Amino acid sequence: MKNKSFIIFQFIQIVIIILSFSVFMNGCHCVPCSEKEETQIPLDILKKTDQFIISKTGDDFFKKYITVDFSQSKHIPPNYLMVYKFYMPQKSFVDEVIRFNVDSVGNVLKQYEVVGIPDCNASLMDCDFVVDEKIAKQIATENSLSKGIKDWKVDFVWNSKYNKYVWEIIATTKESKNEYNTRAEGEKIIIDANNSSVLSKDSWKIN
């Protein structure tokens, strides 16, 4: 009985050691990684980039829908790539990325594109996104977008030309594939996600 009790005691000790080691290792992997991600972007840079976005969206809109993405933001010496998540829970199609570059003190680098910041302060309508996918498809139909040979490709995206979010609907009217390339053509319509206006309707081709 003595030997049996001793063996059981040893087994319990081994289990406790293994569990403790597992907790310790998990702690080592999780905490430092999180800290490392955050410390890549100094607090003074982060405050400045937050304010840059707020200057376009307003403080309330920023707090509700925009958060910094530490896993994607990077220090690219001497500059920083800043990435934010833009998500509106009540409009699930609004799930986008804000991206821009700043210098070593947080000033926006104008030689790089600023992507995904809606200018609510210039026009409140540019942040309403009243046009959902169903309405966008209806507008495309009313404007005679070809039905094509397969389902339309429908995307809510940032458009750099118009500097706003739009619905981009692509119809494919012809398509051929082989082991070397793909040939296709069709039509594309771009619809303002805020006021339903058709910004452009063009043909496209891939040779």
Q: Nearest CA to 70 among 20, 35, 95?
A: 35
**Structural domain count of the chain:** 2
Please identify which residue in the block is written with the tokens 């000790």: 13
Residue 4 has pLDDT above 90, yes or no: no
96, 124, 152 - which closes a domain: 124
Model confidence over 177-200: pLDDT tens digits?
887 888 999 999 999 999 999 999
113 and 48 belong to one structural domain: yes
Cα–Cα distance, 152 to 144 (Å, whole number): 13
Residues of the domain holding 104? 43-124
97 and 153 belong to one structural domain: no
101 and 140 belong to one structural domain: no
Confidence of residue 16 (pLDDT cuts 50, 70, 90): low
64, 98, 124 - which closes a domain: 124
Residue 76 within any structural domain of the chain? yes
93 and 152 belong to one structural domain: no
95 and 138 belong to one structural domain: no
Model confidence over 20-33: pLDDT tens digits?
544 444 444 443 44
